[in-house]
Amino acid sequence: MPHPIRLAINGYGRIGRCFLRALHESPLRHSFQVVAINEPADLDSMAYLTRFDSTHGIFPGDVQQRDEGLVIDGVPIHVSHAREPEGVDWAALDIDILVECSGRYGTRAELERFLAAGCPRLLLSHPGRSARDIDFTLIYGINQHALTGEERLVSNASCTTNAVVPVLNQLQQAFGVEHAFLTTLHSVMNDQPLIDGYHHSDLRRTRSAMQSIVPVATGLAQGVERFLPALAGKVQAKAIRVPTLNVSAIDIMAQLSSDADGERLHALLRTAAQRQPRLQAYSDAPHASVDFNHDPHSVVVDGSQTRMNGPRLANIFIWFDNEWGFACRLLDAVQAWSALFAPHAEEAPEAALRHG
Ligand SMILES: NC(=O)c1ccc[n+]([C@@H]2O[C@H](COP(=O)([O-])OP(=O)(O)OC[C@H]3O[C@@H](n4cnc5c(N)ncnc54)[C@H](OP(=O)(O)O)[C@@H]3O)[C@@H](O)[C@H]2O)c1
């Protein structure tokens, strides 16, 4: 039987742990194995936060510590605690992909330190500083077919880009988009303090995450333009952190190039969901964000919130689990990429891809 693809995780925070768990909860666990984790935190805390998760619940498996590493359902994972790429002997770990989830490395020069230190390939859980800093930026469902297998630095874009690009793309193809304004309502993240505290570069991130609605900077407009060049210069975005633990939303305001109405918009977005049921969903039930906790889709369109102001100004509301949905897309990315550079690796049946 072909050997499993060997993965490592750098940065075992929210996304690093969700990625490990998404793999564990998927039949893909037979084809892919996390063999190493590098995280500055101590092993006791890593094991504890693997077992107990306030957002996604108790880990559905056995988590143990042994010989300075983790053992999950009997499978050992090498653990290191370096803060520099050169602090780990990546070559000795014989990995196929390092899933970089620390978010600390954005430029090509920074990322190439991992390659020089023995990592053959990196999959990033964030966009590169610019398109030139990585070999390929992936939104699964949009452009995975353009991967070649020759890349060494692949970015999985951001959770917001994964959610909004498919919907904007569908609007653009059906009606044309003259301009769009995107307002992200994003749950709190670990770069915000629980109560007011210092932040080295961003005054807004000094404010208590649980006390306020906090506007923050966002690169979403540039992220969208990387995928939809027809919209270059036509998209503006802002992001607002809200005091919830997980699940986010984007309010899309789109000036269309041709006339539409609510029914035609819904027919378009419902059909898109039927075409890619693993990635996109549609609902017109009266939802609250918590309904989508642990939801594996990149995006769920909320049909109950669609509004038209005249025939061409459309307002569409979408939900996404910023942690779990994105972790499931990282897993899709690993599978699509490794099928190209290691086509001998065991294939999981398509039906088995229902993560979550
Ligand atoms: N959370 C989301 O919803 C989400 C969704 C999509 C993408 N992302 C992206 O994913 C990345 C991680 O986000 P997150 O929410 O998982 O953050 P997080 O919870 O803060 O996790 C990051 C982890 O990486 C560790 N770390 C810091 N520097 C490191 C280094 N040099 N080497 C190895 N590990 C290091 C951190 O330790 P310390 O805390 O000790 O520094 C922390 O444990 C960010 O780029 C973020 O934008 C996040």
Answer yes or no: are the C-beta atoms of 62 and 72 closer than 8 Å: yes
Active site residue 159: yes
Q: How confident is the model over 336-348, as pLDDT tens digits? A: 999 999 986 655 4
Coil, strand or helix at 226: helix
Q: Which residue's alpha carbon is at the smallest distance from atom 33 of ligand 1?
A: 11
Q: What domains, with CATH codes, occur in the chain?
A: 5-157+325-353 (3.40.50.720), 159-322 (3.30.360.10)
pLDDT digits (tens, 9 = 90+) for 185-199: 999 999 999 999 999
| Residue of the CA atom closest to atom 10 of ligand 1 | 125
pLDDT at 255 over 60: yes
Output the CA 12–ligand 1 centroid distance in Å.
7
Q: 160: closest CA among 247, 47, 48? A: 247
| pLDDT tens profile 113-169 | 999 999 999 999 999 999 999 999 999 999 999 999 999 999 999 999 999 999 999
Say how far apart CA 14 and CA 347 lie, in whole Å: 28
C-alpha angle 188/301/259, rounded to 5°?
A: 125
- Is residue 102 within 6 Å of ligand 1 at its C-beta? yes
Residue 306: pLDDT band with limits 50, 70, 90: very high
Q: How many CA atoms lie less than 13 Å away from 272 in the CB half-sphere? A: 27
Q: What is the pLDDT of residue 200?
A: 86
Query: The tokens of 135 are what?
Result: 């070999």
Distance 13 CA to ligand 1 centre (A): 5
212 is in an annotated binding site: no
Q: Taken in order 24, 30, 32, 38, is the CA torsion positive or negative?
A: positive
In this prediction the pTM is: 0.96
Long-range residue pairs from 62-71, CB within 8 A, at least 24 positions apart, any chain: 68/43, 69/43, 70/37, 70/43, 70/46
Q: How far apart are the first and last CA of the chain?
A: 26
**Is residue 94 predicted with pLDDT exceeding 80?**
yes
DSSP-derived 3-state class of residue 329: helix
Separation of 81 CA from ligand 1 center, angstroms? 14
Give how far Cα 316 sits from Cα of 108, 156, 247, 261, 295, Å.
36, 24, 17, 12, 20
Tokens of 344: 């001998």
Residue 275 beta carbon below 6 angstroms from any ligand 1 atom:
no
pLDDT, residue 353, reads: 39
**Is 15 assigned a ligand-binding role in the annotation?**
yes
